[in-house]
Amino acid sequence: MSMDDMNLEVLQRRLSGLPVSEIRYYERTGSTNDDALEWINKGAPDRSLVTADEQTAGRGRMQRHWVTRKGTSLAFSLIFRPEASELVPFYAPLGALGIALALETLTSANPQIKWPNDVLMGGKKVSGILAEAAWEGDRLTGLVLGIGINIATSAVRLEDDFLFPADSLQHSLGRAVDRVDLLVEVLRQIFQWQNRLGSTEFITEWNNRLAFRGEQVRINRPGMEAVSGEVLRIGQDGLLWIRQDNGKDISVTAGDVSLRQTDPKLRE
């Protein structure tokens, strides 16, 4: 993958058919989410885009670090000005669904979504998403949807010490993927589905790609005791339903899902 396949001029031309308000491109930055949150405070319009070729301080869920090496990945943040704060929890899954649908459209891949919003290929993570809301008191002023996608094989290295096994699109597909082609299609899908956030159709599409359905998982919950059980479905409210060993069905509001240690298919 050439180092010059992405720059502001290319992005402006290729994204001209999409409702992207403004674009900021950096060859190198700390975090596109940080850049986007700062831009929100300075009046960034709805559906603005921040993207970078290299990210030195990217963040993921649960305070994790997201590595973005030069020329190997997609790292971008979309700015939204949502009117309905109750739909905020659906923006991260919107990103995951957008990536999954884009991969299905452009390739023969069958991606899955590890609840709530990691995209897996062959059981390994190829993309992570971090949605961050900006507030003024109790008023929602904006939302940043940060997305990182491992494109080239060199995006993933053993020394990165991932908590969940990671992979790149190039390795999982067996061929190179054009970053800008993928960015265009991911954005197209996200904008197309934004108007259906939280709808029955949205939840159905999310469920259709739910990873580990019917499998035994362990869910580590921030500040709470971990729970284990069989993955059932995603509810209309976006919560994950699991069936515990005692037969009781419970919903989980937040957490990190992994296959249970006792499972012979363990991938972690």
What does pLDDT average to over the chain? 88
Question: Is residue 3 included in any domain, yes or no?
Answer: no
Q: How big is the CA angle at 209 (ends 203 and 212), to the nearest 5 degrees?
A: 110
**What CATH code is carried by the domain that includes residue 91?**
3.30.930.10
As a whole number of angstroms, the distance between CA 150 and CA 168 comes to 5
pLDDT at 157: 61
As a whole number of angstroms, the distance between CA 58 and CA 79 comes to 16
- Looking at the structure, tell me whether residues 115 and 245 fall in a common domain: no
pLDDT at 69: 66
- Looking at the structure, tell me whether residues 144 and 244 fall in a common domain: no
Give 151's pLDDT tier (boundaries 50, 70, 90): very high
- Looking at the structure, tell me whether residues 239 and 200 fall in a common domain: no
Give 261's pLDDT tier (boundaries 50, 70, 90): low
Instruction: For residues 66-80, give the mean pLDDT.
Output: 83
Domain count, the chain: 2
Question: Is residue 268 included in any domain, yes or no?
Answer: no
Give the other-Cβ count within 10 Å of 63's Cβ: 7
Return the minimum-mean-pLDDT range out of 82-86, 121-125, 261-265. Answer: 261-265
Whether the predicted model's global pTM rises above the 0.75 cut = yes
**What CATH code is carried by the domain that includes residue 233?**
2.30.30.100
As a whole number of angstroms, the distance between CA 8 and CA 93 comes to 27
pLDDT at 64: 53
The pLDDT of residue 56 is above 90: no
- The whole domain housing 240 covers 216-259
Q: What is the pLDDT of residues 157-212, one digit of tens each?
A: 654 555 567 899 999 999 999 999 999 999 999 999 999 999 999 999 999 999 99
- Contact (CB, 8 A) for 266 and 258: no
Give 70's pLDDT tier (boundaries 50, 70, 90): confident
Highest mean pLDDT among 3-17, 50-64, 223-237 belongs to: 223-237
- Looking at the structure, tell me whether residues 201 and 93 fall in a common domain: yes
Instruction: For residues 53-75, give the mean pLDDT.
Output: 68
Instruction: For residues 204-230, give the mean pLDDT.
Output: 93
Helix (H), strand (E), coil (C) string for the chain: CCCCCCCHHHHHHHCCCCCCCCEEEEEEECCHHHHHHHHHHCCCCCCEEEEEEEEEEEECHHHCEEEECCCCEEEEEEEECCCCHHHHHHHHHHHHHHHHHHHHHHCCCCCEEECCCEEEECCEEEEEEEEEEEEECCEEEEEEEEEEEECCHHHCCHHHCCCCCECCHHHHHCCCCCHHHHHHHHHHHHHHHHCCCCCHHHHHHHHHCECCECCEEEEECCCCCCEEEEEEEECCCCCEEEECCCCCEEEECCCEEEECCCCCCCCC
The pLDDT of residue 250 is above 90: yes
